[in-house]
Amino acid sequence: MGVTCQILIDRPEDGAFKAGRLVTGTLKYFIDKPTKYERISMCFLGKGDCEWTETDAKNTLYYQNKEKYINQIVNVYVRRKSEDFISGGFEYPIQFLLPIDIPPSFYDKICTIEYKIIVTFAKANSFSKKNFDVRIPVTSYVNPCTLEPITFGLKKNLSFRINNKINVKGEISKTCIKPGDTIHMTLTVNNGTDLAVVIKTELIKRLTYISKGNHKKYHEEAVKNTCTISTVAANAVANLVCLASTYQDLFSIQHAKVMKGEYMIRLKAKLPFPHANALLDIPVVIGQRKHELIAPPAVYYEYNREQPSTSAMLDQNNKYRNEEDLTKYEKEDLNEDSAKYIKEVNGKGIVQEEI
C-alpha cells in the first residue's frame, strides 16, 4: 500500500480563493510501514500555458507560451540520519498566500491558467517519487480600463451634404462592474437622413491568446441575452436606454502574458444596402477592483527538523497597508490596451467617425 495522502482545502463560501488572500487547509498522510524518505514536500504552483496550430497552404505552424505566477515549496519532512525510518499517520497545516497580481483560473482548448498544491514523497537512495495534487480555484482583481463615466460618439455620413448624417452620442455610467451587475448605457440618436436606422448594442467577449513570439490568436463571441435593438425613423431624434446584464461566471482576465480576456459594448448603426454600417466598441471590465481585495499578513513555514504534527508560522508586514495605497496603485495601473479601442476626448470620452 505504501503511502496514502489527503489534501483537504478549506473552501471559501463562493467556491474560489481571491488573489491576495490565504489558501488554507490540512495535509493528512499515512505511511503503512517504516520507510526511508529523503524528503516530503508541498508545492503551491500557479502557471499558465497556451498552445495552438495554424495551417496555411504549405505549412503547419505551432505556437506556444508559458509562465509561472507562484512557485512556493514547503518541506514537510527532511531526512537527517541515514537510519531514519518513518511510519504512521501525520497531519500538517496548509497555508499559502496568493500574490495580488495574478490572473484567475481559466481552462479552454487553447489555454490553461491553473493553481495546484502538489505533495511529493521522495524516497531515500532512489529516484522513486509519488505525487498527489489538488486544483485550487482562484479569482483575481481587475483594473478599470477607462475613467467613469465615459462618454462616446458615433457619426455616419451618407453623403457630403451637411444634413445627411447620423450622429449618436452616449454615456456608460460604470465601465468596471462586478460579475452579475448590469451595464447601463444611454444613447441620443440624431438621424438626419431620409432612411430609418437600426441601433443595436451587445456585450462582446474577446479572448486573445499570445505566443512566445507575440503572435496572437483571437476568439470573439456575443454574450447571450445582452442584445438590444431599436429603430429610429428618418429625420427623427430618439433617446434610448440600453441595459446589458452580466453573469456570475463572466470575468475579465488580466495580469497574464499567455492570454487576455476582454469585454466590450458593441454599438452598431445598421443601414440598408448599399450603405455600410457604422461600428464602435466601448471597452468594459468585469470583476472585483483591487482595493476590494486587501491582503492579510503574509505567512511562511519554518521547518523545525521534526516530523510534523503542527507547524510554526511567522508574520510578515503586508505590502499594502491600507485601502488608500491600493486605490492609488490601481489608478497607476490602468489598462493601456484600451487605447486600441478609443480616442479620449476631454479626458473621458471616445468618438469614432464613419464616412
The domain total for the chain is 2
- 109 with 238, same domain: the answer is no
pLDDT recorded at residue 173: 92
pLDDT recorded at residue 315: 34
pTM: 0.78
- 199 with 220, same domain: the answer is yes
Instruction: State how far Cα 217 lies from the chain centre.
Output: 17
| DSSP 8-state class, residue 100 | S
CATH code where residue 29 lies: 2.60.40.640
- 128 with 24, same domain: the answer is yes
- 229 with 295, same domain: the answer is no
- 342 with 202, same domain: the answer is yes
12-15 CB contacts, 8 Å cutoff, 24+ apart: 14/139, 15/137
d(CA 194, CA 197) in angstroms, rounded, equals: 9
- 205 with 277, same domain: the answer is yes
- 90 with 210, same domain: the answer is no
- 53 with 99, same domain: the answer is yes
Task: List the beta bridge partners of residue 73.
Answer: 43
Q: What share of the chain is helix, strand, coil (3-state, %, to 5)?
A: 5, 55, 40
d(CA 42, CA 118) in angstroms, rounded, equals: 6
- 232 with 125, same domain: the answer is no
With residue 218 as reference, give the H or E element that holds it: strand 216-222
Among 141, 148, 134, residue whose Cα is nearest residue 185: 148
- 188 with 210, same domain: the answer is yes
Task: List the beta bridge partners of residue 148.
Answer: none
Q: What is the DSSP string of 34-93?
A: EE-EEEEEEEEEEEEEEEEEEE-SS-EEEEEEEEEEEEEEEEEEE--STT--EEEEEEEE
> Which range of residues forms the domain containing residue 136?
3-141+290-331
For every one of its 355 residues, what pLDDT tens digit does the chain have, with 9 covering 90 and above?
Answer: 689 999 999 988 888 999 999 999 999 999 999 988 989 999 999 999 999 999 987 899 999 999 999 999 999 999 887 767 888 999 999 999 999 999 999 999 999 999 999 999 998 888 889 999 999 999 999 999 888 899 999 999 887 665 789 999 999 999 999 999 999 999 999 999 889 999 999 999 999 999 999 999 999 999 999 999 999 999 999 999 999 999 999 999 999 999 999 999 999 999 988 888 999 999 999 999 876 655 444 444 444 444 444 333 323 333 333 444 433 334 444 444 433 334 433 344 555 555 4
- 136 with 177, same domain: the answer is no
- 165 with 254, same domain: the answer is yes
pLDDT recorded at residue 15: 86
